[in-house]
Amino acid sequence: MIKAGIIGASGYAGSEALRFLLNHPDVEVVGVSAHSDANKTVSELYPSFYQICDVPFVEDEDEVIQKSDVIFAGLPAGISEAFAQKALDLNKKFIDLGADFRLDNPDDYAFWYGKKYENSALHQKQVYGLSETHREEIKHACLIGNPGCYPTSVQLGLYPIMLQHLYANKHIIVNSASGVTGAGKKLTEDTHFTKTNESFHPYKAGNHRHTPEIEQELSKMSGEAMRITFVPHLLPVNRGIVSTMYIDLKEDVKLEDIYKLYQNIYQDEQFVRILPLGKQADLKFVTYTNYCDISLHMDERNHTLIVVSTIDNMVKGTAGQAIQNMNLMFGLKENTGLNYVGPSF
């Protein structure tokens, strides 16, 4: 059995990782940590765990790190470095659900997150954890920067286009909408029920911190410096992301050929489903699952491809992705513990 621990386990990302790990046949959860809720049991904080996980959160992250073979960190940006270093010193594997090991360029991290990489040597070991595009590196990694939720949906939606250079220009417009769990459990003025319910609005338009992560990875896929204009929106649902991407295509590229290309590139990927032409990706059918559903559409008049990509931000966008990566790191079948079907209605 793999011994797994979660630090920052009282947050949304950490508790979602716990939900999946408890159902994983090859994992034993050996420790969970939290600060404000230290000494409360998991089920006191989250009643869905009642009689399933009644252990208390401990305050000391080191205790969890020492007991575990793999540590999942669901912490705010800027505090994972020291924990990751401790884990690696003890030959453990570390999967960071936050943004501290995603960006290759320290200047990008400093600019977008307002913090510096303190331990440069540690960042040489980081591997970007989008399983479908970095599989071989992930298998040998000890330190994973699990992708952001929006970047996961966008990259999976654009990967075939990037690989085949089907874009007419290197600038792509991306509109995304996320459920409110994306903002974490801490209540803010903008996440009050009264403010989100029956509303829908953009935020951080053209200025969201996932922009450099998306550009970094699209550029690696295409081998060219890609740029995006990214506009996230807050959707009054608990879970789910819908990303809509608009790509001006090279001449003579047809929708049917693009559909075949997507089918071909994703044919062995269980968690990426290319919907038949004419169907529309819908977040309802991926919620609570590790699936990413993609639909393809053509604006014929402007020769613009429209790609719609949907995921559950808490699963393929966070915890499910992290467990998919753990499976790869430990040589398990990649879908172990992740075979959930979404709701029918």
Ligand X SMILES: CC(=O)N[C@@H](CCC(=O)OP(=O)(O)O)C(=O)O
Ligand Y SMILES: NC(=O)C1=CN([C@@H]2O[C@H](COP(=O)(O)OP(=O)(O)OC[C@H]3O[C@@H](n4cnc5c(N)ncnc54)[C@H](OP(=O)(O)O)[C@@H]3O)[C@@H](O)[C@H]2O)C=CC1
Determine the size of the site formed for ligand Y (CB under 6 A): 29
272 binds, among ligand X, ligand Y, none (CB under 5 to 8 A by kind): none
Percent helix, percent strand, percent coil in the chain, to nearest 5:
35, 20, 40
* 53 among known catalytic residues: no
Q: Judging by DSSP bridges, how do beta strands 241-248 and 171-178 pair with one another?
A: antiparallel
- φ, ψ of residue 199 in degrees (nearest 5): -135, 165
Using Cβ positions, the residue closest to ligand Y within the complex turns out to be 11
279 binds, among ligand Y, ligand X, none (CB under 5 to 8 A by kind): none
Tell me if 126 contacts ligand Y by CB under 6 A. Answer: no
Minimum CB distance to ligand X smaller for 13 or for 275: 13
- For the CB of residue 1, give the shortest distance to ligand X in the complex, in Å: 29
Minimum CB distance to ligand X smaller for 31 or for 182: 182
| Burial zone of 97 (CB within 10 Å; 0-12 exposed, 13-18 middle, 19+ buried) | buried
- Cα 81 to chain centroid, rounded: 19
- For the CB of residue 24, give the shortest distance to ligand X in the complex, in Å: 22
Which of 130, 149, 158, 172 lies at the binding interface for ligand Y (CB under 6 A)?
Answer: 149
> What is the C-alpha to C-alpha distance for residues 205 and 188, in angstroms, rounded to an integer?
19
- Taking CB under 6 A as the criterion, which residues in 225-284 touch ligand Y? none
Give Cβ neighbours of residue 44 (< 8 Å, ≥ 6 apart): none
234 binds, among ligand X, ligand Y, none (CB under 5 to 8 A by kind): ligand X
Could you say which of 53, 142, 149, 292 is catalytic? 149
- Cα 264 to chain centroid, rounded: 23
- Taking CB under 6 A as the criterion, which residues in 287-326 touch ligand Y? 313-314, 317-318
Tell me if 78 contacts ligand Y by CB under 6 A. Answer: no
Which two three-digit tokens encode residue 106? 């320290």
Measured CA distances, 255 to 165, 176, 279, 280 (Å): 15, 22, 13, 15
Which residues lie near ligand X (CB under 6 A)?
77, 98-99, 148-149, 178, 182-183, 210, 232, 234
Tell me if 223 contacts ligand Y by CB under 6 A. Answer: no
- For the CB of residue 150, give the shortest distance to ligand Y in the complex, in Å: 9
Provide the CB-side half-sphere exposure for 60 (13 A, CA). 4
- For the CB of residue 148, give the shortest distance to ligand X in the complex, in Å: 4
Tell me if 171 contacts ligand Y by CB under 6 A. Answer: no
DSSP state of 40: S
Of the candidate spans 28-36, 112-120, 272-280, 283-291, the one that interacts with ligand Y by CB under 6 A turns out to be 28-36
Is residue 325 within 8 A of residue 144, CB to CB? The reply is yes
Closest CA to 161 of 30, 257, 288: 257
Catalytic residues: 149
- Interface residues with ligand Y (CB under 6 A) are 8, 10-14, 34-37, 74-77, 79, 97-99, 148-149, 181-182, 184-186, 313-314, 317-318
